[in-house]
Amino acid sequence: MGGTSADAVDSFQVIRRRAMDASTDNASPASGRMRRFIYFYVTAAMGASMALFLATAWLHLDFPPRVMVWLIPGVMPVAVAALRVALEDRQRVLEEPAGWMRWAIGGALLFGLWAGIYFLIGRIIDPTRVRFLSSALESGIPLVPSYSFLYILLYPIFLLPFFAVKDRTSYQRLVAADLLMFAVCSIFFVAYPVAYDRPPLPPPPHDIGTWTLGLIWGNDPAWNCLPSEHCTAAMIAALATWEADRRRGLFAMAAALLIGVSTLFTKQHYLVDVVAGYSVAVAIHWSLRWSRAFEPGAAGSVPRAVNRLIRP
């Protein structure tokens, strides 16, 4: 009798979770506009960084760093996002999920966790343990500091899917994918630390590309190379965005691939790091897609510690 009662309770919980996932509880117009604004801000910041790459690498233009620090992450994307929201169809705004703000906070916390783990490992690794891989192929790739503007695309693209996913199940899979990425990459970084022997920067005066790359090199350890967590995180974000919105997903996928290219031209990674990073991302993404743990109503099959983190 006790077993039958427990089964009935479990069945009720499953039905309840499925109802929650299938619900059409949407955000208010003001909340929906806020989410769309942040979404457009993130994509516009990515577009501005790509445009700066084209202007410096192809047109050989240069800009004062202090001006660009205000324009690229500030004035330009804010203006574009405000215009896009003003022109946005009202029905599209009303389709945004009500729980998006909790998901956004979760994404920000994950971003901080990822950065903390990455730099902590960079500090504790003994430099005498690091390995340098054969760089015959990489030696033929020139150092082009302007590619640093594509390299930093990772930071906005990491957050992009948290403003693109439309349901709790997709959000849970995204969080689980990021957590798995942290674990897998960290194990490799500690067990088999690989470093890149960076060449010297061009002599001063530095253009804005060299100035930006100098900031990256000054804060990023030369190890934590294999696999490229830059590529892993970017591809996980792109795949999650693709599932939510095919058109935006194409943009995210292109950005993820450009990030991989940038790691070679900024001398941050070997080609094998890039391939390994993308491979880890694809493996994690599809493993979670095929898993029944994240089907609506099946949250109970997710390990409790992880489930507490991913439940909005």
What mean pLDDT is predicted for residues 147-163? 97
% of residues, the chain, pLDDT over 90: 75
Confidence of residue 94 (pLDDT cuts 50, 70, 90): confident
pLDDT at 15 over 70: no
The single-letter code of the amino acid at 63 is F
Residue 205: the pLDDT is 87
pLDDT at 193 over 70: yes
Which letter does DSSP use for residue 75 in this model?
Answer: I
Q: What is the mean pLDDT of the chain?
A: 88
Confidence of residue 258 (pLDDT cuts 50, 70, 90): very high
pLDDT at 214 over 50: yes
CA 305 to chain centre: 23
Residue 93: the pLDDT is 82
pLDDT at 102 over 90: yes
pLDDT at 77 over 60: yes
Query: Kindly report the CA angle at 157 between 176 and 38, in degrees rounded to 5?
Result: 100
What mean pLDDT is predicted for residues 173-190? 97
What pTM did the predictor assign?
Answer: 0.86
Residues 25/98, Cβ–Cβ less than 8 Å: yes
Residue 161, SS3 per DSSP: helix
Torsion (CA) 209, 212, 214, 220 in degrees, nearest 10: -130
Residues 88/35, Cβ–Cβ less than 8 Å: no
Which letter does DSSP use for residue 128 in this model?
Answer: G
Tens digits of residue pLDDT in 30-60: 999 999 999 999 999 999 999 999 999 999 9
Tens digits of residue pLDDT in 286-299: 999 888 666 655 54
Query: Kindly report the CA angle at 225 between 187 and 238, in degrees rounded to 5?
Result: 85
